[in-house]
Amino acid sequence: MSKGFRSLPSAILRRFAGDQRANVAIMFGMSLFPLTLLIGMTIDYSRATWRQTQMNAAADSAVLAALTPPMLSQSDQNLITRATNVFNAEVQSISGVNYVPSTLSVTIQDVGMTRTLTLSYQAASQNAFAALIGKQTLTLSGTSQASASAAPNMDFYLLLDNSPSMNIAATSAGITTMVNNTQSQGGCAFACHQSNPSKDNLGNPGGVDNYTLAQQLGVVTRIQNMATATQALMSTASSTEAINNVTYRMAIYTFNSQGTSAIAPLTSNLSSAQSAAGNISVLEVYANNWLTSSNNNSDMDTNFESAMSSINGIMPAPGTGAANSTPQEVLFIVSDGVDDEPAASCSQTTAPGNRCQQPFDTTWCTTVKNRGIRIAVLYTVYLPLPTNTWYNNWIAPFQSQISSNMQSCATPGLFFAVTTDGDITGAMQTLFENAVATAHLTQ
């Protein structure tokens, strides 16, 4: 019996080994540990990947929070502190992460108006199957970098042509109205302002000048639109400087044959400049061909070279616009582009009275731009008047040159032409926005 008893286990084992179901059990038992290990590693790795995604998102948020327009005007240390605080606060909400704030690296590099911030972190994801896989944590690390250009502080000097030719009716309908109501003058679309209109026997009701006649007829002139547009520009500048957290200063000057006249000297009080812009008006003359009762200037009322020389002497040297530098400088010219002055160096045929009418000489534009001052030009298109003899004789020969000449005066990208019936307010705001948007590219 003892012999049979001893042989029983061997027989059982032989049958078990020969049974296919037994082989499956053995194989399962042998694979159970590596399978469990694989599952544990997969879970821990997936959790680590998810946590790293959250850490990277926190890093991106921190970098962007430090490069907002208001922050860009602050010191490097303030930007670093801001990024550090945002990252540390967001990481606290990520469970299962070992993170030591002292391991965080935040650096900043300033090149011109561009600031680049780099944030690098080190952390570890806690493993749920640490005992099984023999590893307590998985390493997490990442870097986030972003750059932003700080908006510069800027000064804008508006140089606005208020010579009589700029006071044409602003719309086609207004021109028709003026022409129809000035037939005794041969039909005049210009609302010229005269202190002694009786000298010219204009034939207007009540003996008024065309300036007053336009007001009585409800005709809006180009200069009136220019004044309204200038006032609206102050509001745009005010809201834009608040968004960009910078300072914009405005100066408003008009020009004609007498050089420049200050409507509003350079000021950061944009509300004050806005109020002053309401005083923009056309040059008042004594009568046709007479600037004053003792000065017969043959209506030579637009001296661009004198105005540019004057404004060049007024505008300071530009800086980068950074907080620790002087502002950038922009000259903003609005004009119909026709010079009208004594023929010292006239490129066109001289009109009667030694009068020279020609496209503006852009020499002063080059001088100003060579100082690092950008020029924005709004060309209020000189209206062709084919039924007017003076226009046909003295303006028509160079009409096609005016626009290209004005554009050559402007800094590339800062030229805009507006025709009769056009929106001067929208044009001025577009030029301003372009000047602001491209400012950091030129310094």
CA distance 307 to 291: 17
Quick one: 278 and 327 in the same domain? yes
Phi-psi region of 240 (alpha: psi -120 to 50; beta: other; left: phi over 0): alpha
Quick one: 135 and 20 in the same domain? yes
CA distance 142 to 301: 68
Quick one: 274 and 370 in the same domain? yes
Share of the chain above pLDDT 70, in %: 88
Q: Is the pLDDT of residue 31 over 70?
A: no
Q: Which CATH number covers residue 409? A: 3.40.50.410
Phi-psi region of 427 (alpha: psi -120 to 50; beta: other; left: phi over 0): alpha
In a domain, 35, yes or no: yes
In a domain, 259, yes or no: yes
Mean of per-residue pLDDT scores for the chain: 88
In a domain, 86, yes or no: yes
Quick one: 76 and 99 in the same domain? yes
Question: How many residues make up the chain in this entry?
Answer: 443
Quick one: 280 and 138 in the same domain? no
In a domain, 215, yes or no: no
pLDDT of residue 134: 59
Domain count, the chain: 2
In a domain, 188, yes or no: no
Question: Which of 149, 182, 210 corresponds to the end of one domain?
Answer: 149
Q: Is the pLDDT of residue 48 over 70?
A: yes
CA angle 35, 36, 41 (to 5 degrees): 100
In a domain, 191, yes or no: no
Quick one: 126 and 162 in the same domain? no
Quick one: 236 and 366 in the same domain? yes
pLDDT of residue 14: 55
pLDDT of residue 442: 39
pLDDT (tens digit per residue) in 351-408:
888 899 999 999 999 999 999 999 999 999 998 888 788 899 999 999 999 999 999 9
pLDDT (tens digit per residue) in 35-46:
555 565 566 678
Quick one: 136 and 249 in the same domain? no
- What's the distance, CA 260 to chain centroid? 27
pLDDT of residue 26: 52
> What is the token pair recorded at 358?
């020609």
CA distance 116 to 126: 33
Quick one: 424 and 312 in the same domain? yes
By residue range, what is the domain housing residue 93?
13-149
pLDDT (tens digit per residue) in 80-126:
999 999 999 999 999 999 999 999 999 999 887 788 999 999 999 98
What 3-state DSSP class applies to 426? Answer: helix
In a domain, 357, yes or no: yes
Quick one: 272 and 382 in the same domain? yes
**pLDDT, greater one: 3 or 282:** 282
Q: What value does the mean pLDDT take over residues 220-249? A: 95
pLDDT of residue 366: 97
pLDDT of residue 8: 47
Question: Which of 88, 122, 149 corresponds to the end of one domain?
Answer: 149
CA distance 306 to 74: 41
Quick one: 100 and 164 in the same domain? no
Decide if 207 contacts 402 (C-beta within 8 A): no
Question: Which of 149, 181, 208 corresponds to the end of one domain?
Answer: 149
pLDDT of residue 130: 53
Place 18 in a pLDDT band, splitting at 50, 70 and 90.
low
Quick one: 137 and 164 in the same domain? no
In a domain, 196, yes or no: no
